Structure 1
Amino acid sequence: MSNAENPAAQPLPTLSRSIEGRAAIVTGAASGMGRATALLFASQGARVVVADLGEDRVSEVVDQIAEAYGADRALGVVTDVSKPEDIKHLVSQTIGWADRLDIVVNNAGVSRPNTTVQEDDEFEEAWAATMAVNVTAQARLVREALPHLLKSDAPRVVNIASTEAIVAQRGLLSYAASKSGVVGLTKSLAVELGYHGVNVNCICPGPIQTGMTAKYDDELKAKYAKARVPLRRYGRAEEVAQMTLNLCLPASSFVTGAIIPVDGGMTIRHT
């Protein structure tokens, strides 16, 4: 009997479920899902570059990681991802510190009120700012990181989009368009970079308790969740971070181009 016919004779698992010792860039890492991702990666032994706006906010996360896991586990780099020179600086600082780059998590994002009936200047400013951060920055960071990712034995890119790429609401025209762009970008990168062994995937978070959703009344959020989300609650930032981690594991070596909602089932609910 061959091994194929005898499951008991199959080889033991060999694919690693550890990111210990790997180096990761997480943008938008000073709050919300980005912060949860940075903390989770550090807890799993990765060296994490915390990239975000504001030196105080970045330092707070770096200090938290250092206190819990060691001073060599995190580097803070103040970064405006809408600026190409900041992205170049971010990757340069990462390599100078860690001498490697295995994982890029494109998490930074903005949401601006934007409609077709806005005044021209207001519309143009909101549209340009949203696209620059939510889509263009992701493509630029992957391009800048690619020479270093190609040296990794398990290079991973995770782009954070939104369920606004799947369903939409009024008043967020550029946000919905940008997150749809992230989905398209992910698919194209997965096809292009798959030839080089780089896995590129996308997560679409639904209603998550973050700073971006904190402005909404808790009672209204609870009502919304019960009406729209099969799990009947908002998600937690760590629940998105855990999915990001899963996609970055060396064991997730045959997953690329996937668009994964983390939304409590919201986008599959018909009524």
Structure 2
Amino acid sequence: MQPYQHLSRSIAGHVAIVTGAASGMGRATAHLFASEGAHVAVTDLEQAKCDAVAAEIAKAGYSGSALPLALNVMDEAAIESGVAKVVEHFGGLDIVINNAGFSLHAKIEDDQYPDYWDKSINGLLTAHQRMIRAAMPHLRTSECPRIVNIASTEGIGATPTNSPYVAAKHGVIGLTRGMAVDLGRDGITVNCICPGPIRTGITDGIPEEHKEIFAKRRVPLRRYGNPEEVAHITLSLVLPAASYLNGAVIPVDGGMTIKNA
């Protein structure tokens, strides 16, 4: 019998890019990673909002640090430039968290549907593979390369008038599985999280009473989740100890997707 192997559960000193980090799950992930000693690129559309989150992290006195960086994930050149800036600033790259997202609702016959479709596929799916491609040269030199794609329970099922988002999120799951097979030989793990009803900017517009009704009817835990609860699962996937977890699709939804009635 071989001796027990101690596997590290620390990401201290690791470098991560988190997209969509100005709010919600991305912000929570940036805070959590920095509190664990990682160096985090806080990226989002607006520099001022990235600056605000980086300031929060600095004020908290974590052992890790934050680099605020405006980044439009729908712009391929911006992704390549952003990754280069992160590597130049921190000296490498170990972790990619593809979290940036939005939701555009339309019926197939609506005039805006083709535009919503294009934006959803570009921003929610194509952006993921662009970020991975830009990061690949640096991940290949990392001792603990990790990729986590944030999909949605809409990538497992569907709700009405949301097919552009649903299609993109199903695609994120497919991309995760395909990349896990392709990149596994290089020791790069690629996993996916599917958040359910979480208190984020996307769900802010839903009245509290409607949130409560939905949660009591559909979610076994009978509540919406918090961004920090997703962030902790994300952290689990990027630990050095998670070295044999690859191609996983993990719902973080309070049990919603397993409930039959």
Match for residue 237 of structure 1?
A: 227
Match for residue 174 of structure 2?
A: 184
The share of aligned pairs that are identical, in percent, is: 50
> Which residue, out of 198, 223, 233, partners 2:188?
198
Match for residue 45 of structure 1?
A: 37
Q: TM-score normalized by structure 2?
A: 0.98
CA distance in 1, matches of 2:204, 2:144: 36
CA distance in 2, matches of 1:252, 1:58: 29
User: 4+ residue runs of structure 1 moved beyond 2 angstroms?
Assistant: 10-13, 69-72
CA distance in 2, matches of 1:167, 1:221: 19
1:42 and 1:69 in contact (8 A); partners too = no
Distance 1:28 1:194, change over 3 A: same
Match for residue 12 of structure 2?
A: 20
Q: TM-score normalized by structure 1?
A: 0.94
Amino acid at match of 2:119: A
> Which residue, out of 203, 206, 213, partners 1:213?
203
CA distance in 2, matches of 1:70, 1:217: 35
Q: Which runs of 5+ in 1 are unaligned?
A: 4-9
Question: Aligned pair 1:152/2:160, yes or no?
Answer: no
1:65 and 1:71 in contact (8 A); partners too = no
Question: Aligned pair 1:263/2:227, yes or no?
Answer: no
Amino acid at match of 1:155: P
Deviation string, structure 1 residues 155-212 (Cα, Å, up to 9, x no partner): 0000000000111111111000000000000000000000111000000000001111
2:50 and 2:70 in contact (8 A); partners too = yes
CA distance in 1, matches of 2:63, 2:152: 33
2:13 and 2:64 in contact (8 A); partners too = no
CA distance in 2, matches of 1:126, 1:181: 16
CA distance in 2, matches of 1:145, 1:254: 21
> CA RMSD for the aligned pairs?
1.1
